[in-house]
Structure formats: C-alpha cells, structure tokens
Structure 1
Amino acid sequence: MQDLKVPKNHTIKKTPKKTLEKWYRLMTIGRAIDDKAPNYLKQAIGWSYHAPYAGHDGIQLAVGQVFEQKKDHMFLYYRDMLTALSSGLTTEEVILNGISKATDPSSGGRHMSNHFAKPEWNIHSVSSLTGNHTLHAVGVARAIKYYGEKAVAISNQGESSVSEGFVYEAYNGADKEELPVIFVVQDNGYGISVPKKDQTAQRKVANNFTGFKHLRIMHCNGKDVFDSMNTMEEAKKYAIENSRPVIVQANCVRIHSHSNSDNHQLYRSDTERNYVIKYDPLEKFRRMLIRYERFTEEELQEIEEAAKQEIKKAHKSALKAPDPKPESIYDFVLPEPYKAEKYPDGTHNEEGEKKKLITALNETLKAEFKENPDTFLYGQDMANKDKGGIFNVSKGLQQEFGKARVFNAPIAEDFIVGTANGMSRFNNKIRVVVEGAEFADYFWPAMEQYVETSHDYWRSNGKFAPNIVIRLASGGYIGGGLYHSQNIEGALVSIPGVRIVYPSFADDAAGLLRTAIRSEGPTMFMEPKSLYQNPKAATVVPEDFEVPFGKARVRKEGADLSIITYGNTTHLSLEAAEKLGEDDYSVEVIDLRSLIPLDEEAIFESVKKTNKVLVAHEDKVFGGFGGEISALITEKAFEYLDAPVRRVGSTFTPVGFHKALEKAILPDTQRIYDAAKKLLEY
C-alpha cells in the first residue's frame, strides 16, 4: 500500500511552546554529545565506536516522542543516539554507554558503545548486525497482536540494511501476519562508503516493497522535525488501529563520516560535504524558532547553556562510575534452568507400556501446552490439516490448541528463529518452541539468528534471555544423503550461551523437552530422527518425567572400558558392549544426553573406574564434539588412563545418498566394536 496523505497536525505555529522547548533541548543535548563523543576516544576514555547521527535529527526525535515506555517496543540501531534520548534515556545514561561503564543500562560495558538500550522500558538490546532486529520486532509485534495490546513495535535501521535477506523475511512476515510494527528506514544515502545506487535500482528503497498486500509505505523528510512528527504519529495510529505494518522511509543526510573509524573525505566530494552541512536539521530548526517568533535568541541561548551544564554534570558523574569487573565475564552466559526436582538424577524405575520416541515428544508437547497457556509452536509444515511437522511430531497440536498457538511459518529459517526471539521479549511467561528447520542440515540460514540468540543474555547483562526451544531432526541412518542426514552439533558447541541436548531414548526425550520448555533461556533440542519410530528407543515414560541439564545416564555398568556417547550411537554402543561381553569384557556405556552443559563428573568417574575410554558419536571424527571430550579427559584425568582416548564417528566427508555410501560413512556397531576391542587389547 502506497503513501497516503499525512495530516499536518504539528507546525511551527500550532505546536505548544513547551513542546518546542523540550524538542530543542533534546536536539541540543544530542548534538552536543554527538560532537563530543570522538573526544572521549582521543582522550582514551572510551567511545571507541561512534556513529554520528547528525542529519537524522528530525526522524530520530519523532521516533522517540511517539514511543511509550513499557507499552510499545523499541529496537534502536547504532546511529540512534537522539532516538535514545528522545525515548527517555538520560544524558548520563547515554554517556555511560559511550564509555562502557558497569552501570550502562544497555549492557554494563559488554556491548559496543553506541548500542543503546533499556530493556526494562522495552527499549531492547540489539547487536551490531545491521537490520537483524527487524525480525525481533516482528516477533514481539506478533505477541502484541495475540495478547490484544494497543501498542506497536518500532524497528530502526539504515537504508542499506534493507539489502539483507532477513530484512525481506521480516517485512514479508509482518505483511502476511498483519502485525502492528513500524519499520523506520533512515536513508542517508550511504552504507558506510557504498552509495545507495550500488544497493538498489530504486531511488527510495522502501518502494522495493510496494507489492506487499498489507504493508503501508510512508515517506517523510527525516531532516524536518514537523514532517517527521506528523508521519510517525500517523504511522503509529495506522499500525495500531489496523494491525498492519508500516515502513516509514525518512530522507536524511549524513553530515559526518559513517563512524570514527571511517573517513568520508575518501569517497565524498567537497561539494557534497558542504551541501549536507548547509542543510543541517538542527540549524534549520533553530532558525525557524526565531523566524516564526516562537523563541528569542536569548531564550534559545538559555536552553543551550542549560544543556551544556547538564552534559558537564553527566560527564563528571559518568566518569566516576565503576568499570566492569573482569571476573564478571562468566555471569549471564545462561540463566539458571528449571529445577527438575521430581527426578533429580533424570532416571526412573516405572514399569508399564513402552512408548516410541516420537510419541513421547508429541505427548510432552501437549502436556506443556496445557501446563502453560503462553506456549507457542511454529515452523515449516507444522500444521496443515492432519500434518504435524515433516515427521508428524506435532500431530494434533493445532487441532487441540488452535491456530493462534500452533501455526506454519514461511520457508525462512532465519525468520523462524528470529521471530521466536522477538516473541519471547513480550512477556517472560512466554515459551516458544520452533522447528528451526525441517532437517538439521537446513538450519544454516538461521545461524545468524542462532548466534544472536546465544549472546542476548550475556550482552544485555542479564536483562533478557530468549525463552525458546529450537527442535531439529538430526542425523542419518535414513538414506537421506546431503541436507537430510548430516550432524551439526560439532559446529554448534563452539558457541556459548545455548544449551544443547541430544537424547537417545523416549523417556529422556520427554524429560529433556519438558525441562527445556520450562527453563528460561535458549535450548537446542537435537532429535535423532532415525529413532522416532525405532523400537530400540522405546521406553516407559512417566507422564511427569523431568531430566536435568548436564546429567549423563549410565546405560550399562562396566569395569574394563568406558564408551561415552549420545544420540544414535548410544544404541550402537550398547550393541557393541553386549557383543564384547560375549568376549568376557565388561564395558560401561555413558549416554551424555546433554552436551552443553556437560556432565564432566560422570565422565571422570567412569574414567577412574575403567581407565580406558572410547568416544563414539555419529558426527565426523575430525572437528566433532568427541575431540572436546577427549581433550577434557586428557587434561583433567590423564593420570587415570591406561591407553590413549580413542574416537569413532563419521568419515570426514559429506553423507552420501546411496545406502552403500551411507554405510561406508556413518559409524556402525561393528566399527565401534572393533575400536573398543583394540583399545581393550592395548
């Protein structure tokens, strides 16, 4: 939907003098800090990253003025200093962020300077990845709509970030779901040094999206306070009343370099640089206030002097604030998980009918949806008539809990994970379960949002953790080949901030899923899809079963050799251990269940008992998680070893499609048996 005529409510003559005074004060303080920030770096005080906003004054003032704290949701980008001030951050809070003090409300010095936030007001922490928070804004707007709030999500970005694929995913998703979100595109013509003509054929990048059915596009002069105010007020009114998304493209200029590490003299002419200075929005606003006799020169000078004194006072106070403590780096990596008190060691002795792993997952999802009405599930192929996921794990959930809680997502993995992150920002009661991709191999497009999610809790200094569970059907043994049989946990374990679990049996799948959904913070839930219907993985499943994170399970006691394993290879290892038992060897099998956190104690206890260790997993040996386990044992339990730690896993190749190729690549019982036998005979 194209631009509609915006009513001109705010003009220089109609706007109350008190309001004009507030605006001029904010603009004056903002510009003074904007100009002063590079001096902090020169004096080695801080602000090592600063992106000047000068030239964006009108739109940034307006965005902050229409934002309602603790009601609306705001996502600032790194050039949004005046937006932060206009939204309510104090002068001191802005400086605390700039010089990375422990009392910085955004991150306590953990994140780059110029990344402003105050999560307790719904001014959310965002990363440096340009435009990625558009997905978070869509997610929180989905929650705003679901819970019936008369509010809006506002996402700010530069025009060049619109080139990113995930920005398209965000706009498309907001349009499809008809969500109350405003995407503010502050167009200054440059992406660092890259001119807009190298980004898109459109002179106005918002017009790339004119074909979207429910999306309204509005244009304004981002240098002009009144045009920006009128446009933002109309955009917010429209988004809330119609529950539809809006793009506000604000035409701005960039007066200075992109940042303090950029030199715009290398790519901008003297003529262009003089032009943007000539059209300085602050100077224009000041001239208008005098020309229309709303203020005298003396009155404006009083405001400017008061602003100068306020900055001086804030500067002195901020310098006295404490620096972050080095020992705090381990704080807020992950929130404390749900305490699995009914089954503290994650085991049980119940008897009865065995259930398959897929049944255990399905029934646990339904139970948790009943337990917490603020639980949601979505992904690809999740809910269309009788379909419930590509493997039918979620079968029946939409019929029982409705389309608002269980629904399909576009084939856009980044969108799935990013909007889950955003939706969980609305309310800490919310739990979002997503199929991150139909197969684990297809998860790579979502890695950008996975990384984002991993450091949200740490980056926000403990103020926000995404309460999401990412389910992935993982592994091979199904004849699926590339994109249907790979393992990816070896790559994921190197990224701190996400729990990673990998059950092998139905009861553990149920217990870990229950714990994951009830816990705060993100969990990656890897499901060995070849075991969904396999009788080997079927067990009795107590209806309230819980498995704590970081608690391994001894699947078979032994004295001569420890096999440490998880997932599909747990069953192969048990088979190999039974076969070795026929040779009079006593082999212990440890099922890790949880990779992060890892049960080091259980591993070391087994090593001390048997003195020989074989690590078996389905993933590639080279670069696989087994390398970390081997290194851990060598580093902390070397004196108990009577032989080198050995590993069994896949070959360092992709997984082939033909059965003969898959068999040659993936580990099997015989390969584990042979490796264990050699180790026992060492």
Structure 2
Amino acid sequence: MTTVPKVFSVKTTPKEILEKWYRLMTLGRAIDEKAPNYLKQAIGWSYHAPYAGHDGIQLAIGQTFEKEVDHIFLYYRDLLTALSCGLTAEEIILNGISKATDPSSGGRHMSNHFAKPAWNMHNVSSLTGNHTLHAVGVARAIKYYGEKAVAISVQGESSLSEGFVYEAINGASKEKLPVIFAIQDNGFGISVPKKDQTANRKVANNFTGFKNLRIIHCNGKDVFDSMNAMHEAKKHALETGMPVMVQANCIRIHSHSNSDRHELYRSEDERNYVQEYDPLFKYKRMLIRYERFTPKELESIENEAKIELKEAHKLALKAPDPDPNTYLDFVLPEPYIPQKYPNGTHQEAGEKKKLITALNETIKTEFRLNPDTFIWGQDMANKDKGGIFNVSKGLQQEFGPKRVFNAPIAEDFIVGTANGMSRYNEKIRIVIEGAEFADYFWPAMEQYVDSSHDYWRSNGKFTPNVTIRLASGGYIGGGLYHSQNIEGSLASIPGVRIVYPSFADDAAGLLRTAIRSRGMTMFMEPKALYNDPKAATVIPDDFEVPFGKARIRRNGDDLVMITYGNTTHMCLEAAEKLSKEGASVEVIDLRSLIPLDKQTILNSVKRIGKVMVVHEDKVHSGFGAEVASIIMEEAFEYLDGPVKRVGSSFTPVGFHRSFERIILPNTEKIYTTAKEILAY
C-alpha cells in the first residue's frame, strides 16, 4: 500500500503516485485536444471548454474527492477534474458526444457537463456558479447527519460576481459548514478580463472579512502546490467543519470554448506567454529534471494514453444515441398516491378548523412521521413567531433548531440550499417558505428554474424533494410586493407541481401529499383566507388530496365556473345569488393547476355548454388563458357561447383599498359576467 505523504513534492511523492498523475494528465489533455475534432466531423461535442492551463488544480481537486463519501459539483471546464475523480475516458467521450449511456444526463444536457450521481458527482446546470448553493445545502446535511465528508464546489473566478455565490459563501460561513470552494482563476470570464469583474487582483480576497472562512491561495498550474492546497483544505474542513476557499491561479491556453475566438481580445504576446507556461509540460520537465522518470518511461505512458483514448473513442461511437421519443420521461416524478382519500373528498362532521391551523397541524404531523423533514425560511423561528403569518408557529419548540430554523433574507439561498440538502438522501423531505410573500420570490427564480429541470436534465437520477410554500394574493391591503399573484408566470415552467387550495381541508390534504411526494411542488397559500371563517372546514386525520384532481364545490346545469384560491368563495357567493334568480351554476375548484384535471373540466363543459374561468391573477396571460384554450381546442363544439374570463386588470395591485376593489375580481364582477354568459 502506497503511503500518501503529508506534503507533496516531486522528490518525496512515491513514484507510482507520480505516474498515476502523469497518466491522468496526459490522457486528459489528449481528450481535451481531440474534443474539437468531434464537432468538425459532426459527431458531437458542440460545446467544449478546454481546460488546458488548469491542469494542476483540476488534477488535485479530483484526487481530493472521495467518491460515494464526499459530494462534488463540477463546472463546464472540469474535464480533467472529472477524469481525476474516476470517470473513464469512455464516459468523458459519451458525455461529449451526447450518447444515451452518458452517466451525467444521457444526452439531455450540454456536453462538457460531467457527472456521475451514483458517486455523488452531481449533475449541474449551465447557470454559472449556481451549484455553489447546492454544495452548501448538501454540506448542511453532512453536518446534520454527522458524516466525515466534504462538499466541493468547483467554479471559475468570474462566477464569484454572481449574487447567489455571495449568498452561498455567506451561508456556509454563518452555518459553519464543511464546504470547499475551489476557484480556478484564469483571468477571463469568456472575453471579460478580471479587472472588469472585481477590484481585487485575487478574487478570493473579496471574502477576507467572512468569519469562519479560511482562504488558501495556490498556483493552479503547479501540480504539487495545488495538491498541497487541496489536501490542506480538505483536512481543515474535516477537522473543523468550517468552509475553505482555494483560489488557484491558472492560465487559459485556448479560447473560452469552441464558439469563442480569443484572438479577438487577447494579444499574440499573451497567447504565446500562456503556451510557454503549460502546466503539463512543466510537470513533465520536473519529473525528468529530478530523475523520477526517464523520457522513455514518460513516452511509454503517453503512448498508453493514446491507445486508451483510441479504444474509448471506438466504444463511445458504438454507444446508442438518445431516443427522442423519451422526451416526456422525467418531467415530473410519480407523486405520492393518497390511499385513504383517493379522490380528495370526505363527508366527515365535527369541529371546523381555519386554513392556517390546517397548514400548521399538517406540517407538525408530517414532521413527526418523518424525522428527516426540515423547514426553513425568513422569520421562521424567533421564539413564538413562526413565519410572517405564524404558519410554522411552535415547530421549532417541538422539533428543535436543527430541523426548523431561520434563513437569511436571500431567496436564492433558501431555494438553492433546499435543492442541495435534498441531494444527500432520498428520504429527506424539505419544506421551505420561499419568500415572506409570493411577490418577493423573484430573486429565487434562478434556483427555481434550475430545480425545475433537475429531474429531466439528470435523466431521472435526481429530483429535489422540496415543497415551496408561498403566501399569495391580495385582499389584505398589501399593495406592491404584498398582494400580487405569480402562479400564471410560474405555470409556463415545466417540472414543478403547482397547487392552490381554497379551503382548510384541501390545504391540509394537498400539503400532506406534496411533502410525501418525490419532486418539487409550489404550494400557493391564499393568505387572505388564513383566518377567514368561510375557508374553515372539518379536517379528517391524515386527510390527503391527490394532485390533478379538481373538486366540484357546487353542482349546476346552466353555467360552469372554473376557479381556485380566493375567488372560489366569490364564485360560490355569485352562484348562490344567481340560484335565487333561477340559474343553476356549477363551481369547479381546480385545487391543482399542474397537473390539471382536464377531464373534470371537459365533462362539465360538454354537459353544460356555458363556461367562465375566474381567478385572482391578471386576465392577461393568467392561468385562465390556458384553461380557456384547452376548452376551445377540446370542447369547442359543445359550447353555447364564448368562454369568458374574470380576473384582475393588467396592472399591479395597488395599496389603497379603492385600488384593490377596482383591480381585483370580486363577487359582483363575477355575477355580472355570469349574467352576460347566461343571456348569450
């Protein structure tokens, strides 16, 4: 067994380790140089970011990673890192030419995004630095479960300009998490020089004021300096549980990628300079100078690498291409299927509970059922307060601050670390308050979009098991950032369920199903109904509501109203008023927008013939437009009049109550529109 030295040097490192490193570096560079040829031959690898010049630090990062123990998040330039982590040349090429057997995504994601989820080499998106938050989230799980492991986030220096990267580093510092932020600094963000990114020559020095964060600088072109830096970083993270940032000074020998031409922004002198400082050639010269290897020995290793690459190339070309007919696979995982209440209805009598009580009690019940359930957000755990509306009141007192805790006012951080923590173990279920009000959720959209296609992008290998709660809607006199609806905008993004209850029992049932399900659910809560008696209902123990199953709140024959959320109650009030005038109105409460219960909608439309769609959100591009389109496309011949929509005006919701009254829908507006349709 080879003894690994405490300090690596060309003189003291065992020869077999030096040989392994040279073999990896030689093979990696051979693949790196061959990659553009695949594009020229129209075989694939249409995106390739060459790593040449990053050799030392990439080799070291990969050698530091312990598969199936540590967790690592690579970025698009990490070809040698992936090889050093243990991927084979064949697996690298399978990714590059987008084959079905690519372990990262099976051809669903861009080439040069290397992963092997079975080893905790996580599939990441193309959003620069986005995975930093995921590394922090999984490190939170590492700390909670007491494992001796680290999370490694690998990225270029320009990604540190992103706001969510600051959020990640701040969070790791605050929570004292075992994360290594490995920064490969080659001086350019595509064509943007570092001086246009930051005032500090060394970007890591922007973070010197972060408590609990250790910063290590190294020469990323030098194998030994890089190896020592990463070895020390991991040792520190394991021993102290604290985060470390390793800034590796690198060079970029070639263009940013195969779609970039660096001669347009780099001088010939600079391009020649970086060629002279090629890390691979430097390592080779050192091995010969210090007589650790003869030139002939190294030439033999180089020839073996060429043979290995040739064989990997042949095998990869024979691998099957992705089947495009699988494009509908892995959009959403199969949800939890309710057993006791398969239709999400009940006839039980008893004491009515308010909607806010339903949410609070359901979360507590699910926390007792599954000890691997967590919740966090803003204002979540301050003494007796539980969220801005007290939905989570009493949770921290019962379940403790490690499962129920506050998050910084950083929505990207809240969502991103939920994604990351859920990667640690399939049994983990996370509930987050994505923002204090739905209107404040927009800073988290990078993470929301990224998480939405995690399941599809990873070819079914990972889905974030996260329920995002948002207090939504108006009728509270909140105004801008406190009274808007966002579900219409979110509904265009595949890969997330969106539910919007109107009554306390449905709130409990849908939340229970969301928490127990795999995948991500956006849980919209009509905050005006939290304590409203008209939303209070009897709630059976363990009540469950399936996704994609609407509920007919009132039967009728002359007109059907399709609605959800706050306007469900207004539709019921309008229907009651119309019944006194002799009109029979059916009210369908959608409850679930994605997936949508098309069958219940179409059955009622075909039977009744007159229909209106009502929701609180804007009529313009609101979710009702999708419902109306489905009706027009699939039930047009059954209609006895136009499909009418009622919602808010195409304006923000103003603060003064008079603005609310004119902008938002109400019972009278619904009643008036219904009369128009009935008279058609």
Coarse TM-score class (shorter-chain normalised): over 0.9
Paired AA for residue 622 in structure 1? H
CA distance in 2, matches of 1:120, 1:642: 56
Shift of 1:298: 1.1
Matched, 1:445 2:443: yes
Q: Hey, what does 2:625 align to over in structure 1?
A: 627
> Aligned partners of 2:541 and 2:255: how far apart in 1?
61
How far is the alpha carbon of 1:665 from its aligned partner?
0.2
**AA aligned opposite 2:674:** A
Which of 603, 607, 610 in structure 1 is aligned with 2:608? 610
| Residue equivalent to 1:673 | 671
Q: Do the aligned partners of 1:8 and 1:227 also contact (CA within 8 Å) in 2?
A: no
Corresponding position of 2:559:
561
Partners of 2:518 and 2:171 in 1: CA distance: 26
2:578 equivalent among 580, 584, 600 = 580
- Residue 220 of structure 1 contacts residue 248 of structure 1 at CA under 8 Å; is this kept in 2? yes
Alignment-derived partner of residue 190 in structure 1: 188
Cα displacement (A) at 1:297: 1.1
- Is 1:118 matched with 2:116? yes
Q: 2:131 and 2:143 mapped to 1: Cα distance?
A: 18
- After superposition, what is the alpha-carbon deviation per residue over 1:181-209, rounded to whole angstroms, capped at 9, x for unaligned? 00001000000000000000000000000
Alignment partner, residue 140 of structure 2: 142
> Are 2:587 and 1:589 aligned?
yes
Normalization by structure 1: what TM-score?
0.99
Does residue 1:155 correspond to 2:153, yes or no? yes
Instruction: Give the TM-score normalised by the residue count of structure 2.
Output: 0.99
- The secondary structure found in structure 1 opposite 2:498 is strand
SS of 1:527 mapped into structure 2: strand
Q: Does 1:82 align with 2:80?
A: yes
Deviation of 1:60 (Å): 0.3
Kindly report which structure 2 residues correspond to 1:373-522, keeping only aligned pairs within 5 A, or say none: 373-522=371-520
* Secondary structure at 1:330 match in 2: coil
SS of residue paired to 2:297: helix
The one-letter amino acid paired with 1:127 is S
1:8 CA displacement: 6.8
Question: Residue 615 of structure 1 aligns to which amino acid in structure 2?
Answer: V
Q: Determine helix, strand or coil for the equivalent of 2:327.
A: helix
**Contact 1:85 1:94 survives alignment (8 Å):** yes
**3-state SS in 2 of match to 1:154:** strand
How far off is 1:628 after superposition? 0.3
One-letter identity of the residue aligned with 2:123: S
Amino acid at match of 1:301: E
2:330 to 329, 332, 336: 332
Distance 2:430 2:344 in 1: 24
Instruction: Verify the 8 A CA contact 1:500 1:524 in the aligned structure 2.
Output: yes
Q: 1:242 aligns with which of 225, 240, 243?
A: 240
**Displacement after TM superposition at 1:13 (Å):** 1.1
Distance 2:267 2:449 in 1: 39
Q: Aligned equivalents of 2:339 and 2:106: distance in 1?
A: 34
Alignment of 1:40-439 (within 5 A): 40-439=38-437
CA–CA distance in 1 between the matches of 2:581 and 2:312?
77
Cα distance in 2 for partners of 1:617, 1:325 equals: 40
Deviation at 1:218, TM superposition (A): 0.4
Partner of 2:26: 28
Which string of whole-angstrom CA distances, capped at 9 and with x for unpartnered residues, describes residues 299-340 of structure 1?
111111111011000101101111111110000000000011
CA–CA distance in structure 1, aligned partners of residues 143 and 584 of structure 2: 59
Q: Distance in 2 between matches of 1:669 and 1:228?
A: 68
Whole-Å separation in 1 of the counterparts to 2:541 and 2:360: 12
- Any idea what SS the aligned residue of 2:420 has? helix
2: CA distance, partners of 1:280 / 1:19: 21
Q: Name the SS for the 1:463 alignment partner.
A: coil
2:141 maps to amino acid: A
> Does the 8 Å contact 1:455/1:496 carry over to 2?
yes
CA positional deviation for 1:618 = 0.1
Q: 1:609 and 1:364 mapped to 2: Cα distance? A: 37
- Secondary structure at 2:221 match in 1: coil
How many residue pairs match? The answer is 676
Task: Give the match for residue 645 of structure 1.
Answer: 643
CA deviation digits over 1:514-572, x for unaligned, max 9? 00000000000000000000000000001110000000000000111110000000000
Shift, 1:639, TM fit: 1.1
Q: Residue type matched to 2:407 in 1?
A: A
> Do the aligned partners of 1:139 and 1:420 also contact (CA within 8 Å) in 2?
yes
Q: Which 4+ stretches in 1 moved above 6 angstroms?
A: none
Contact 1:97–1:109 at 8 Å: present in 2 too?
A: yes
Deviations 1:384-438 (A, max 9, x none): 0001000000000000000000000000000000000000000000011000000
Residues in 2 aligned to 1:443 and 1:591: alpha-carbon distance in whole angstroms: 25
Helix, strand or coil: the match of 1:109?
Answer: coil
Deviation of the 1:587 alpha carbon:
0.4
Please, which runs of 5 or more residues in structure 1 have no aligned partner?
1-6
Residue aligning to 2:534: 536
The CA distance in 1 between the partners of 2:304 and 2:121, in whole Å, is 27
CA distance in 1, matches of 2:578, 2:27: 76
Question: Tell me, which stretches of 5 or more residues in structure 2 are unaligned?
Answer: none
State the distance in 1 between where 2:569 and 2:329 align: 37
Q: Distance in 1 between matches of 2:351 and 2:607?
A: 34
Counterpart residue identity of residue 244, structure 2: V
Amino acid aligned to 2:548? G
